[in-house]
A and B are shown apart, each in its own frame.
Chain A
Amino acid sequence: MAENIIEIRDVHKWFGRVHALNGVNLDIRRGEVVVIIGPSGSGKSTLLRCINHLETVSSGHILVDGVDLTAKTTNINAVRAEIGMVFQQFNLFPHLSVLENICLAQRVVRKRDSATAEKKAYELLERVGIPEKAHAFPGQLSGGQQQRVAIARALAMDPKIMLFDEPTSALDPEMIKEVLDVMLDLAQTGMTMACVTHEMGFARAAARRIVFMDAGQIIEDTTPAELFTAPKNERTKQFLSKILQH
């Protein structure tokens, strides 16, 4: 078993004439929590979306657990089932109850029977702190509750890695903590996580590594302590001074 669960090798991504990713190299080890920060448009979300192939890379290679996503023979659905993704807009399925949201892919993709899937769903709802909402519909939940269901839905697949794409950016301030608590808890269980977030408190508390991106490139790749106290790069300093000011 390779030590690196994700290996990103010289990845470029073009959107028309926009060079969204410009030669990105990044390794993520098993059990590592990596926080990716950077100004908007720096390519951090694009990078995350490339890891589970929601975007195809223009050139370069991405290996997930040794499997090359860019290879034509790769069964992308099988790879995706091993990668949990949490979106900024939650993207729960509004026509299904919370329980069905968490069970559907378990049954369809993992081929689990209903009883097994539901048992798993109740366990996870317990873990994210809203077991009483199993039969509610997403439209009846607050943003924070929806995002916790989304995390449970992703975890139900027993993923090897979890990707978080600005999971708290669409939330009211008083709901951010409940989601971060779940993520922090998850980080402590040894889950491999890659998080695009602006929550520096979370980065400080949970991340082993923090990656700063700008203009489609990784500018700095270091520990949170080092980044916050002694950023090496001028652009990193500028960015941090802007977001840490208040």
Chain B
Amino acid sequence: MADGSGPALPPASFSGMGVGGFQPKATSRWRRIDHMWLLLLGAVALVVLLYVGSPQRFAPIFRFIWGSFAGGDGIFMTLKLTIISFAFILIVGMVMGVFRVTNVAILQWISSLYVEIVRGVPVLVWILWIYFGLPGLLQIQIPDFTAAVVAFTFAYGAYMTEIFRAGIQSIAKGQMEAARSLGMTYIEAMRYIILPQAVRVILPPVSNEFVTLLKDSSLVSILGLADLTRRGREWVGRTFASFDTYAAVALTYLILTLLFTRLSTALERRLAVEKR
């Protein structure tokens, strides 16, 4: 990096963020991104076509499974569950990931144990066990939404721990040494130097986890939470229109995941420009 970086200077005008990226290389990147946006647009167009084109057959299905913001069901339940769980997952992943790389043996041990145990059990089993099993043991009532968030945080936090660990370890050792040599504490060095760099590195796997969680949130339909999948099952129960209904459910998930993938790619690009 030291020697090679000299001649490879970007143009002088390229000092800030943003503009200036319209070089030949960027053009081909734009074209590729257009294709991905086209896929999303295609899926949206298909839904519009089905909705508008067959008001009797598809429109009622979509209206029912999407639910309403006021009712907090359908898409809104799926998104609420995913986003709230993901916020906790990020916190757990970051804390446990830092535990894993400290030289405090007990913290390392806690983190490793957590990861190994959680990874060995399916997410669905954690959900069932926390919702149906824990109340009996603790003699308390756990609301279904809370149980779902706890289960996802617990289960996905372990994978997120590994992602954070890998990201932190990918930052050169000299960065921590430079920060410490300036008098920063370990925590200050983590906060200002290591984690901001690690976060950029782990953005692709983190957004991948988000999309996976979005899909896995359908598991909560067995708790009776009225998410997208549960609403689909209820509609099938009333109408027996299995093919149409699950097609609508699948299309809706597809649009959501494509949308979030696009957003995370855009975010990655922005951060990459800033970092350089």
Contact = CB atoms under 8 A, between A and B. Distances in A.
Contacts of B3: 143, 170-172
B200 to A, nearest CB: 7
Contacts of A170: 2-3
Interface string B157-182: 00000000000000010110111111
B6 A137 contact: no
Nearest to B183: A81
B6 A142 contact: yes
A95 B183 contact: no
Contacts of A172: 3, 6
A20 B158 CA distance: 39
Contact of A95 (B180, B188, B197): B197
A94 B197 contact: yes
B35 interface: no
Contacts of B197: 93-95
Given A81-B183, A95-B200, A157-B183, A90 B276 contact: no
Contact of A154 (B6, B182, B196): B182
Contact of A136 (B15, B178, B188): B15
A108 B177 contact: no
B109 interface: no
Contacts of B274: 95
Given A95-B200, A142-B6, A109 B276 contact: no
A218 B178 CA distance: 27
A54 B181 contact: yes
Interface in A54-100: 54, 77-78, 80-85, 87, 89-95
A171 B2 contact: yes
A139 interface: yes
A105 B184 CA distance: 7
A140 B10 contact: yes
B192 A104 contact: yes
A80 B197 CA distance: 23
B2 A89 contact: yes
A146 interface: yes
A95 B177 contact: no
Given A93-B193, A108-B192, A137 B276 contact: yes
Most B CB contacts (10 A, CB to CB) among A52, A94, A141 go to A94
Nearest to A171: B2
Interface in A111-146: 135-137, 139-143, 146
A169 B183 CA distance: 25
B183 A90 contact: no
B275 interface: yes
A54 B177 contact: yes
18 contacts: A54-B181, A77-B185, A78-B183, A85-B177, A95-B200, A105-B183, A108-B184, A108-B192, A110-B183, A140-B14, A142-B9, A143-B2, A146-B5, A150-B178, A154-B182, A170-B2, A171-B2, A172-B3
Given A80-B183, A139-B5, A172-B6, 17 more contacts: A54-B177, A54-B181, A77-B183, A78-B183, A80-B180, A84-B181, A85-B177, A87-B178, A93-B193, A105-B183, A136-B15, A140-B15, A146-B5, A153-B182, A154-B181, A154-B182, A171-B2
Interface of B: 2-3, 5-6, 9-10, 14-16, 172, 174-175, 177-185, 188, 192-193, 196-197, 200, 274-276
Interface of A: 52, 54, 77-78, 80-85, 87, 89-95, 104-105, 108-110, 135-137, 139-143, 146, 150, 153-154, 157, 170-172, 175
| 8 A-B pairs with least C-beta separation | A81-B183, A91-B178, A105-B182, A85-B181, A91-B174, A142-B6, A109-B183, A143-B2
